[in-house]
Amino acid sequence: MTTQIAGPRTRRAWADHAGWRTRGLRAVLFAGGFGLFASFALFATQAQAGTPAQLPPVLTLEWCLERAKSANPSLEVARARATAAEHRVKPAGAFDDPRLSYNASNIPAGDFDFASTPLSGHQFGLRQKLPFPGERSNRRRAAAREATALSLSAEDERLAIEATVESAWAELGFARRALDITDRNIQLLRQLASTAEARYRVGNGLQQDVLRAQVELTARLEERLRREEAIEASAARLVALLDLPPTTALPPIEALGLTTAEPALEPLLINLDEKSPRLLAARAQVSSARHRVRATELEGLPDIDLDVGYRVRRDHPGDAVDGDDFISAGFTLRLPVDRGRWRARAAEQKANLRRAEAELRSARAHLASRVRTAHAQLVRAASEVELLRTGLVPQAQQSLESSRSAYKVGRIEFLSLLDSQVRLLNAELRLARATADTHHAFASLESAAGEKLR
């Protein structure tokens, strides 16, 4: 067996090789750590931007409403606020915590000996504050009414968000439908332009017909750009409402349309006070303010601190009670002598009560106005849909077919045919717009009335 000793050059090569391996390992670890950090940062960014969801093949209104109910940030804020208020009810009516005290009582300063006198001892005390009767119960009721108000406000927020989601969903559906109509009309205008050019080449048409068809086609192409912009804006709004990642590509929208008849206006206005979560929340706030006024008035009356003491003593020669421990009890009465301070605090709460009552009246008037306005919009939109669907659109289609036939045989001019095409385009767009408006109006009416009407 032969043992070889490496020379300086060999040792240097091994050192260089080991150093290279160490540096390479460090580089790999750094790259892996950086990749892990980048992945975590990307995940965190996506988590903050929105919660991913399994999108359906067709985006229905029901799916959007369920998604908003579980993921919308504004709704979660309202629910968390209501939950926090519920947890404030019990502390509002609870007694203050008792206080435990200790005193080294009557110790001679000369020797600090507890056994030198019969009065020395370890004094333990317990103190409990007792508010004026009725103060705690009124504070608890005020907190409970406020929790109820915030819970109802969360319900009102849910209705408002559902209305906003339906409006955004319907607007996206209209934007996509309008783009489809525009694309179809662009194809028809191109066919008309080709026909006009062909007639012009053989001497049966006019050059102004060709130019007019090209101008109309250019206008439709420009309109298509606006339709694409409207789709992007509507999709971005709906994605934000559903708390989806910003890069989410929404699937096709379910066909718009409502078969529910519009409800009567008078019952909605009559039942508004009992159905609207906003009005119920406002009434709960009024009740909470009344209890706060009463609690503040009672807080300005005397309250009592009860004290109980126990002194641990040592036996001492000549002690009359042979070293028995001492028990003491007493009370402290708070004297609210600064009446101006308490009158000011009560006046503040009374002003808050007047504000709550005024907010209730304002909310009632505002909601009644919203109900009337939304109902009028719904009646108008539903009537317009029926008129366009059964009247104007079929008539415009028949007029266009008749104009095409007449133009082929030279009975009408090209401008008449082009006008028929534009009238059909406008009628179809108006029908799509009115259909979306029925969703807008129904959603707004349900949000204002505080109840489902479909």
Span 424-436, pLDDT tens digits: 888 999 999 999 9
**Res. 5: pLDDT tops 60:** no
Give the residue-averaged pLDDT of 429-444: 94
Whole-number pLDDT of residue 415: 77
Whole-number pLDDT of residue 229: 95
Digit-coded pLDDT (tens) for 221-263? 999 999 999 999 999 999 999 999 998 999 998 888 877 788 9
pLDDT confidence band for 49 (50 / 70 / 90)? very low
- Which one is predicted more confidently, 46 or 371? 371
Whole-number pLDDT of residue 105: 81
Percent of the chain clearing pLDDT 70 (strictly above)? 86
Give the residue-averaged pLDDT of 303-331: 83
Whole-number pLDDT of residue 42: 38
Give the residue-averaged pLDDT of 395-407: 86
**Res. 35: pLDDT tops 50:** no
SS3 46: helix
**Res. 203: pLDDT tops 80:** no
Whole-number pLDDT of residue 46: 42
**Res. 26: pLDDT tops 50:** no
* Structural domain boundaries in the chain: 61-95+131-301+336-449
| Token pair of 37 as six digits | 């950090």
**Res. 34: pLDDT tops 50:** no
pLDDT confidence band for 163 (50 / 70 / 90)? very high
- Which one is predicted more confidently, 229 or 35? 229
DSSP 201-256: HTTSS-HHHHHHHHHHHHHHHHHHHHHHHHHHHHHHHHHHHTT--TT----PBPPP
**Res. 17: pLDDT tops 70:** no
Q: How far apart are the first and last CA of the chain?
A: 97
DSSP 374-439: HHHHHHHHHHHHHHIIIIIHHHHHHHHHHHHHHHHTTSS-HHHHHHHHHHHHHHHHHHHHHHHHHH
Between the ranges 313-322, 404-413, 432-441, where is the mean pLDDT highest?
Answer: 432-441
Least confident of 70-84, 164-178, 249-263, 387-401: 249-263
Digit-coded pLDDT (tens) for 275-305? 999 999 999 999 999 999 999 999 999 999 9
**Residue 85: beta bridge partners?**
none
CA distance 208 to 136: 88
**Res. 334: pLDDT tops 50:** yes
- Which one is predicted more confidently, 122 or 204? 122
Whole-number pLDDT of residue 164: 95
Whole-number pLDDT of residue 51: 61
Whole-number pLDDT of residue 171: 95
For 65-90, b/e burial (b = at least 16 CB within 10 A) is bebbeebbeebeebbeebeebeeebe
pLDDT confidence band for 367 (50 / 70 / 90)? very high
Whole-number pLDDT of residue 205: 65
User: What rounded mean pLDDT belongs to the chain?
Assistant: 84
CATH class, domain 61-95+131-301+336-449, is mainly alpha
pLDDT confidence band for 52 (50 / 70 / 90)? low
Angle (nearest 5°) at CA 182 between 176 and 184: 105
Digit-coded pLDDT (tens) for 115-160? 777 778 889 999 999 999 999 999 999 999 999 999 999 999 999 9
